[in-house]
Amino acid sequence: MELITAISDFLWGNIIGYVLLALGLVYSIGLFFPQVRYFGHALSVMRSSLKGGDGRISGFSTLMASVGSQVGTGSLVGVSSALAAGGPGAIFWMWVTAAFGMVITFGETVLGQVYRERQEDGTYRGGTAYYIEKGLGSRPLAIVIAVLYILGIGIAIASIQTNSIANAVTGVVEINPLIPGVVVIALVGLVTVGGVKRLADISNLIVPFMALGYLAIVIFIMVANAAALPEAVTTIIQAAFHPSAAVGGVGGYTIMEAFRHGTARGLFSNDAGNGSAAMMHATADVKHPVQQAMLGMLGTFIATILICSATAFAILSTGALAGGHDGINLLQDAFSTGVGDAGRWVVLAAMFLFGFTTLLANVFYGETNLRFIFRSKAGGPIWVYRIIAVVLLAVSSITPLSSIWAFVDFFMALIVFVNLVALLILFRHVRGALQDYVRQRRAGVDQPVWPGRETEADSEAVRSS
């Protein structure tokens, strides 16, 4: 375990964090900062994508499923863990990661849509493995990244969700954490057997309400502790560059620890750079890849700039960080300080809903990559994966959180490195798609259509008639 942690610290502190931000800068400059120029347009795209075709998946539903996976524990446990391990300065680097992560998610979503494959049931599957195989012409590398996704997201990150939900329950009720862990796994099984359409429908129902409800309570805590907010903001900025001056004797944080944990947890909170956005957004029924990419950018903004920031301010404004707790229990300390003992139950409810939708997405990502590896013969391997996942996720509910984080960081470092290299090489395809979209919009086309999608629509119409 110590070796894995040492490797993860080295990769995130010396390679991955810098590469992630560098690619975000390259994409931002090369695409003329779409996260700024088209933010308003992205909001209008979201409003117009509320409905998809009959029996198909709308862009909005896919956004909610993606946000469900992003908001999850990344916005609760990820922030708490970043603060505990890297200090307040880690939040600054989470913001920076999100700013550049928005355009990286844009690129991932475009490629996921362009290189997706149609399934027998009429839905679509896509993601990093698909655009590495088709865009880079390397199936061996695509299989390697698919295996890493199965282990890193389908197992390791999924374990974070089960562990956090179980710990949230034990934070308010004296119970064996294995019991709530098993209950959550059973509920996830009921949804995942129904396929990606049921996943999108469930997320469409849960995510908007859980995000708004959580924000409302956090805003209440922030208003109640409004006098401490200016100091919290100042502390975050100072601690990013002068940690000792900002936090005094609260913790022995360093600039490198703030950067390492801020970038790693920032990525964990919004998935930018790890390619999972491409897998979820590839399923959307949209006319143009860039249309869905606009929604992908919004997902990153919602997950980190809104939800993560709110979580951080709740913890810092209440002084809960000085309590010495980590993970979900740190957030429960903040909420109990802000709204009383009921705050722990509020965090439990939020953790269950956030963790549940994230766990749904994590299992979907694992199955998507199994389908890529085995193609039409994936039925058997998927059931094997489900059985193994059930056992490991149950065990994770009683496993120390630090041990799970070690594996998450290790696998994510490998995944992000491979994915960022692919994104750099395939940049011209992303730019070409954006140029095509903008050209059609300037020509007066309200709903630009990607070449070939007219044929898809016509074939679907004939099939349903």
| Domain edges within the chain | 2-47+58-452
**22: number of Cβ within 10 Å:** 13
Name the token pair of 118.
Answer: 């149609």
Two structure tokens written together for 369: 């990559």
* Pairwise CA distance, residues 221 & 142, whole Å: 46
Amino acid at 164: S
Low-confidence ranges of the chain (pLDDT < 70): 50-57, 65-74, 191-205, 207, 243-254, 268-269, 454-465
Q: What is the pLDDT of residue 248?
A: 42
- Across the chain, which distance is largest between two alpha carbons, in Å? 71
| Spatial distance between the Cα atoms of 460 and 457, rounded to a whole number of angstroms | 5
Q: What pLDDT score was predicted for residue 458? A: 39
Phi, psi of 108 (to 5 degrees): -60, -40
Distance CA 394, CA 386 (A): 12
Of 218, 434, 247, the residue nearest 331 (C-alpha): 218
Other beta carbons less than 10 A from residue 163's beta carbon: 28
Closest by CA to 358, choosing from 411, 307, 400, is 307
For the stretch 124-177, pLDDT in tens is 889 999 999 999 999 999 999 999 999 999 999 889 888 888 888 887 888 888
CATH class of 2-47+58-452: mainly alpha
Q: What is the pLDDT of residue 441?
A: 95
Distance CA 304, CA 457 (A): 35
Span 58-117, pLDDT tens digits: 777 777 766 666 666 667 777 887 888 788 888 898 898 889 999 999 999 999 999 999
H/E segment holding residue 124 = strand 124-125
CA angle 268, 269, 274 (to 5 degrees): 45
8-state DSSP, 89 = H
Burial of 427 (0-12, 13-18, 19+ CB in 10 A): middle
Bridge partners, 117 (sequence order): 125
> What pLDDT is stored for residue 325 in this prediction?
76
User: Which residue in this structure is represented by tokens 């129902």?
Assistant: 205
Please give the model's pTM, rounded to 2 decimal places: 0.83
Q: Helix, strand, or coil here: 273?
A: coil
* Alpha-carbon distances, residue 41 vs 35, 51, 73, 385 (angstroms): 10, 18, 29, 40
**How far is the C-alpha of 363 from the C-alpha of 389, rounded, in Å?**
8
Local structure of 120: helix, strand or coil: coil
Q: Identify the residue whose tokens are 């007066």.
A: 444
